[in-house]
Amino acid sequence: MPSTPALDALRAQLAHLTTEAFRPELADIDRLPTLDIATVMNADDATVAAAVAGRLPAIAAAIDATAERMARGGRLVYAGAGTAGRLGVLDASECPPTFATEPGRVVGLIAGGPEALLTAVEGAEDDAEAAAADLAALGLTPDDTVVGVSASGRTPYAVTAVTRARAAGALTVGLSCNENSALGAAADHPIEVVVGPELLTGSTRLKAGTAQKLVLNMISTITMIRLGKTYGNLMVDLRASNAKLRARSRHIVALATGADDAEIEAALTATGGEVKHAILVLLSGVDAATAGRLLEEAGGHLRAALEAARER
């Protein structure tokens, strides 16, 4: 590829990113026994959680701000390219079955669209116009949160998504794996988890991808805890869409109430299979209709609904 000023500038930019750095001590890794390579990879992976731990205050602040907005009806939107985009789509897709979130409440945008989930779409990560169009199609409000995800922190799709979202008044979070990134500078809440150079130079699906997955797990899970989607560590808003989840829903009701199988079955039948409602029926003695009303008045928070039932 012939050199151009733009290409030279990009090369210079990448040369300063820790995620692109070369590790000379691994230059002969292809000559090592398989077990030795696996040992090196495992040791590398063990450093990721510590890197995330160093950014916990920033992560918690972003989560609190997100939960505050989602409690008012806002949405959580992830935007990224390649591995980062796929991780966002993965996290978003897990929220409806795990927390019974409404369709469109947690959204994953990936550069290149659905096709990019399975195959690389050439040039998609550089398409700032596509990011602007994807964000515009959502009709963002100040109660929405957009999380741009990019290992390098410079991916045009992610940076543009955050920039446009912030201009629209939405809350913005920039998740990257390099310090002083463009993505972090564009966001209200920068989260820069520096994991260092990769085992394979520049392959950010490795440590950087693991770090991003850990942080996205925190953002969605803790936000849903704050929204009352759990009771303790029980997934009481679970949507039982298959046999395994139906069995799990009964187990959750049993753990929360100590009721026997017959009582659990009766409560779930009376409440249309709603785990949270069934627990309230069993623990407070109210009927299904009253349970539904109490939960609605409590904003879906089971603990608050139980307290209200005790005060009746």
Whether 307 is a known active-site residue: answer no
Beta bridge partners of 310: none
Q: Which residue in 20, 25, 68, 94 is the catalytic one?
A: 94
The continuous run of DSSP H or E covering 147 comes out as strand 145-149
Q: What's the whole-number mean pLDDT along residues 115-121?
A: 90
Asked whether the predicted pLDDT for residue 31 surpasses 60, the reply is yes
Q: Is the pLDDT of residue 8 over 90?
A: no
Structure tokens at 261: 């199988």
- Note if 122 is an active site residue: no
117: its two tokens: 């989930």
Q: How much is the pLDDT for 79? A: 98
Interval 177-208: pLDDT, tens? 999 999 999 999 999 999 999 999 999 999 99
**Nearest-angstrom CA–CA distance, 270 and 281:** 9
CA angle 194, 198, 201 (to 5 degrees): 130
- The predicted structure's pLDDT at residue 126: 87
Instruction: Select which of 20, 25, 68, 125 is catalytic.
Output: 125
Domains of the chain: residue spans and CATH: 48-226 (3.40.50.10490), 243-310 (1.10.8.1080)
Q: What is the overall mean pLDDT for the chain?
A: 95
Residue (of 155, 197, 202) closest to 174 by Cα position: 155
pTM of structure: 0.92
Percentage, residues of the chain above pLDDT 70: 96
Q: Which of 112, 133, 114 is CA-nearest to residue 123?
A: 112
- Contact between residue 124 and residue 111 where contact means Cβ atoms under 8 Å apart: yes
